[in-house]
Amino acid sequence: MPDPANRIESGSAAETLSDTSPVSAACGGMDRRQLLALGSAAVAACCLGSSTEAFAGLPAPAAERPKKGDWLVVADAGDHEGKVVTLDMLTAGGAMISAWPVDAETKTTRSGTRFNKVLVVRAEPDKFDESTLAKSVEGVVAFSAVCTHQACAVTGWIPEDAMLACPCHGSLFSVGEGGKVLGGPARKRLPILPLAVDADGMLTVADAFTAKVGPAAQT
Ligand code: FES
């Protein structure tokens, strides 16, 4: 398997954040623009804090699948963790961002299950097929981060070939062809989470996943 470039390992610090902080408690009354203005640290505390409910055994709504109107926050550990994902954070062939959807009404980060995590990449849209183009924004596409073979975390991004790669058994998925399997043992496309963009450049979810996430046997 090609050595994935620009790879960002998946992961979340949701477990480490408290949902009892004052910032978190105030989140419910804020709209998206207010959250965007807060910056990454506050948004991380605000949006990711509520996800602790899921780890305490309360699956909803943090474990509910993303839906139209959700926005995305960075899931990768680091300086940008919890930051709202905007179009200008991604460049064609640049680094991949792993992200959690956030419920637009309750501000709940949907990090209660890794089956909600998405990989956001940007590639050249003139190489996209029609279906993928319709689900993307200026070359930005969001895919499920769960491999359709045996549910490993897909962590590889090979920008020169516009492919996503699973490290477990080497399955390769085409970005421009809607997650089509290009190699390895997977037999099912990687589902897309269709995207839109708002007037502030925030990426939002335009529709539900194009297919059930993960291996067919588990969905
Ligand atoms: S679980 Fe991804 S290739 Fe096997």
pLDDT digits (tens, 9 = 90+) for 68-115: 999 999 998 888 899 999 999 999 999 999 999 999 999 999 999 999
Q: pTM of the entire structure?
A: 0.76
Are the C-beta atoms of 44 and 78 separated by less than 8 Å? no
CA gyration radius for the chain? 16
At residue 22, the pLDDT reads 30
Distance 105 CA to ligand 1 centre (A): 35
Residues near ligand 1 (Cβ within 6 A):
147, 149-150, 152, 166, 168-171, 184-186
Phi and psi torsions of 17, nearest 5°: -100, 140
Question: For a substitution probing ligand 1, which of 146, 166, 213, 218 has the most ligand atoms within 8 Å of its CB?
Answer: 166
Tens-digit pLDDT profile for residues 187-212: 999 999 999 999 999 999 999 999 99
Distance 107 CA to ligand 1 centre (A): 32
At residue 65, the pLDDT reads 95
Q: For residue 185, how far is the Cα from the chain centroid?
A: 23
Return the CATH architecture of domain 14-218.
3-layer Sandwich (2.102)
> What distance in Å separates the CA atoms of residue 209 and residue 205, rounded to the nearest whole number?
9
Tens-digit pLDDT profile for residues 125-138: 999 999 999 999 99
Q: What is the amino acid identity at position 100?
A: W
Distances in whole angstroms, Cα of residue 33 to Cα of each of 21, 86, 104, 138: 21, 12, 11, 22
What is the band of 58 on the pLDDT scale with cuts at 50, 70, 90? low
Distance 147 CA to ligand 1 centre (A): 6
> What distance in Å separates the CA atoms of residue 156 and residue 154, rounded to the nearest whole number?
6
Q: Tell me 35's DSSP state.
A: H
